[in-house]
Amino acid sequence: MMLRTLCRTGGALLQQTQRAAPRLWVTPAQQRWASSLPMNTVVLFVPQQEAWVVERMGRFHRILEPGLNFLIPILDRVRYVQSLKEIVIDVPEQSAVSLDNVTLQIDGVLYLRILDPFKASYGVEEPEYAVTQLAQTTMRSELGKLTLDKVFRERESLNSNIVHSINQASDEWGIRCLRYEIKDIHVPPRVKESMQMQVEAERKKRATVLDSEGMREAAINVAEGQKRAQILASEGEKAEQINKAAGEAQAVLARAEAKAKAICMLSEALTQQNGDAAASLSVAEQYVSAFSKLAKESNTILLPSNTGDISGMITQAMTIYSTMAKKGPNVPEAAQLKSEDNANQSSQ
């Protein structure tokens, strides 16, 4: 009965004390980081992923774990409530100067977690403000090491460097920075215009290079096509000449064989009965055919002295043939030579 009365009295006194002076014990930063401080009711239930820092008579006593906990009224007091979840903090926009003296406006997002509630409660007065200021100063120092072009290209490297620098300083506060992300990077209007002009010039340069490469490839393709066409044409002409020469050679052989057969047949016919009469008829036909072609191919005409005496010409031709036949087998050749001699003599 006395214990129950003592607990009720202590709880009432603690509640009145917290109502009378809540702003003296809890700073604004602590209010942002922690939920409303629970009242000491002897029996306390701590939620999961929270750490309650308990002071006994103004001095750190212990940290309450999630679950059921017991406190002594009046003597024990929950001083801080720290969340062990991942915390997201918006880093306000700030100005920074790059290595090439360009002023930038940059903001970001910081992700952190409390690893040691004792250090987070007693290591720094306002953890959120301290981490935010540390992130801003680290971001300015890291941006001062890079040029404007590298700021956009090495964004991930910049984020990792900022996280590494924050963790080195916040280790004494029991806070671990998980990652830092840059949200927006704003450049002055004139610098933005110059960057756009640079981008346009680079694109024009690439377009010009691509056009020149295309023209070069086209010229190479045309030259290769012409080369192949000439090679194919020369090979076709070569094959045509070879085929033509082969055809002419075969024609010459065919004419020679035909002429040889004709001479053999003629010689056989002359040895037969009435062969002289047949030879006389052939000479007369050739004589008439020769006179019919006069003055068709040239203006110069050679005529024998007795052009009207056809029988005399035939007799003369047969005489030549008979003479040559007595001398040897080359009768046609001798007769031809004799007729040419007579023609020359008559023209003289």
Most confident range (mean pLDDT) of 141-145, 197-201, 222-226, 338-342 is 222-226
Distance CA 309, CA 297 (A): 25
CA atoms within 13 A on the CB side of 303: 14
- For 134, residues 6+ apart whose C-beta sits below 8 A from its C-beta are 165, 166, 169, 170
pLDDT at 81 over 80: yes
Question: What rounded mean pLDDT belongs to the chain?
Answer: 76
pLDDT at 23 over 90: no
pLDDT of residue 111: 92
**Structure confidence at residue 186 as a pLDDT band (50, 70, 90):** confident
Is this structure's pTM higher than 0.75?
A: no
| Rounded alpha-carbon distances, angstroms, from residue 45 to 36, 40, 67 | 14, 11, 5
What would the two tokens of residue 167 be?
């963790």
pLDDT of residue 273: 66
pLDDT at 43 over 50: yes
Size of the chain, expressed as the number of residues it contains: 348
Distance CA 79, CA 25 (A): 8
pLDDT of residue 35: 47
Region 239-259: mean pLDDT is 89
**Structure confidence at residue 299 as a pLDDT band (50, 70, 90):** low
pLDDT of residue 44: 87
pLDDT of residue 266: 73
pLDDT of residue 327: 56
Q: pLDDT tens-digit profile of 188-218?
A: 888 778 777 888 888 888 888 998 999 999 9
Distance CA 208, CA 240 (A): 47
| Least confident residue range of 20-29, 174-183, 196-205 | 20-29
**Contact assessment for residue 115 and residue 174, using Cβ atoms and an 8 Å cutoff:** yes
**184 or 292, higher pLDDT:** 184
* Residues forming a β-bridge with 181: 109
What would the two tokens of residue 119 be?
């250090």
What would the two tokens of residue 289 be?
């055919």
Q: pLDDT tens-digit profile of 125-144?
A: 888 888 888 888 888 888 88
Site of tokens 């090679």: 231
Distance CA 348, CA 346 (A): 5
**Structure confidence at residue 242 as a pLDDT band (50, 70, 90):** very high
pLDDT at 279 over 80: no
Q: Tell me, rounded to whole angstroms, the distance of Cα 245 from its chain centroid.
A: 54
Distance CA 183, CA 180 (A): 10
Cβ-in-10-Å burial (0-12, 13-18, 19+) of 138 comes to buried
Region 175-189: mean pLDDT is 87
SS3 for the chain is: CHHHHHHHHHHHHHHHHHHHCHHHHCCHHHHHHCCCCCCCCCEEEECCCEEEEEEECCEEEEEECCEEEECCCCCEEEEEEEECCCEEEEEEEEEEECCCCCEEEEEEEEEEEECCHHHHHHCCCCHHHHHHHHHHHHHHHHHCCCCHHHHHHCHHHHHHHHHHHHHHHHHHHCEEEEEEEEEEEECCHHHHHHHHHHHHHHHHHHHHHHHHHHHHHHHHHHHHHHHHHHHHHHHHHHHHHHHHHHHHHHHHHHHHHHHHHHHHHHHHHHHCCCHHHHHHHHHHHHHHHHHHCCCCCCCCCCCCCCCCCHHHHHHHHHHHHHHHHHHCCCHHHHHHHHHHHHHHHHHC
Cβ-in-10-Å burial (0-12, 13-18, 19+) of 57 comes to exposed
